[in-house]
Amino acid sequence: MNLILFDPAETATPLPLTDPRAQHILDVLRRSVGETFDAGLINGPHGKGTLAAIDPLTLTLTFSWGSVPPPLDPLTLIIGLPRPQTARKILQEATALGVSALHFVLTDKGESNYARSTLWSSGEWRRHLVAGAEQAFDTRLPEVTHGRTLAEVITALPHNAARLALDNYEACDALSECHLLRDIPKPPIPVVLALGSERGWAPRDRDQLRAGGFTLVHLGPRVLRVETACIAALALVKARLGSMQEPACRRF
């Protein structure tokens, strides 16, 4: 953890020693009473936490808050609902890269039963967002939805967004050379990236994407895993947009 995140309500009560954050403070950071560590409020400011006391079952922490991080990048991911283990990777890595929204959608080639995974039903998915934000030294979490149809999510997108869909079969243009990225103004407009599930897009999915204003693009001839394609595409888009935010000061 580069930054230890807390929900606001957690800052008013002792932290159980069984909590992984308590173990990190004691065993990894090796903090003693009176020493500080980097902390943040989820979707709020970051600052410093102080280890005030160590009891047999809990840690007592105090906090001093500073500035609120900049907004997340105007990047939205639409992803055909993948296997839970793939979704976990995407949730964490896309959050670390600063996307503002992730929508895991039902598609014709996707497995609808993935939407009933305990990843989603238990709320586990949020833990992966927190891990990604902690890695990136940020407090902001992206919006996440799952189980809606592709058509429903397309309808709700910002009207002014550049819309790109990765496709191995019918795309003619490389993502890195696409005019939609080359001609994006400054400050940048929102960008939406859509990726199919492990089996890719079905013909009806492509029809919906094209009808929704999406341009089909590719990442080259190699067939990539969904999580690999997701990170590669995000890296290309962020490189094209340039640095949209000043880097946060490191506080280690």
User: Which residues have a Cβ under 8 Å from the Cβ of 43 and sit 6 or more positions away?
Assistant: 139, 140, 141
Helix H, strand E, coil C: the string for the chain is CCCEEECHHHHHCCEECCCHHHHHHHHHCCCCCCCEEEEEECCCCEEEEEEEEECCCEEEEEEEECCCCCCCCCEEEEEECCCHHHHHHHHHHHHHCCCCEEEEEECCCCCHHHHHCHHHHCCHHHHHHHHHHHHCCCCCCCEEEEEEEHHHHHHCCCCCCEEEEECCCCCCEEHHHCHHHHCCCCCCCCEEEEECECCECCHHHHHHHHHCCCEEEECCCCCCCHHHHHHHHHHHHHHHHCCCCCCCCCCC
Residue spans in the chain of domains classed CATH 2.40.240.20:
4-65
Q: How far apart are CA 207 and CA 81, in angstroms?
A: 18
| Fold that domain 4-65 belongs to in CATH | Ribosomal Protein L25; Chain P (2.40.240)
Evaluate whether 191 touches 241 at the Cβ level (below 8 Å): yes
Q: How far apart are CA 145 and CA 125, in angstroms?
A: 10
CA dihedral 245, 246, 250, 251 (to 10 degrees): -90
Check pLDDT > 80 for residue 243: no
- Looking at residues 26-33, what average pLDDT do you find? 97
- Looking at residues 160-174, what average pLDDT do you find? 91
- pLDDT, tens digit (0-9, with 9 covering 90-100), for 197-237: 988 999 999 999 999 999 999 999 898 999 999 999 999 98
| Range with lowest mean pLDDT among 31-35, 131-135, 218-222, 239-243 | 239-243
Phi, psi of 35 (to 5 degrees): -95, 160
Check pLDDT > 80 for residue 180: no
- pLDDT, tens digit (0-9, with 9 covering 90-100), for 103-123: 999 999 988 899 999 999 999
pLDDT at 186 (0 to 100):
65
Q: Band of the pLDDT at 178, cuts 50, 70, 90? A: confident
Residue spans in the chain of domains classed CATH 3.40.1280.10:
75-241
pLDDT at 155 (0 to 100):
94
Q: Report the top-level CATH class of 75-241.
A: alpha beta
Check pLDDT > 90 for residue 183: no
- pLDDT, tens digit (0-9, with 9 covering 90-100), for 51-95: 999 999 999 999 999 999 999 999 999 999 999 999 999 999 999
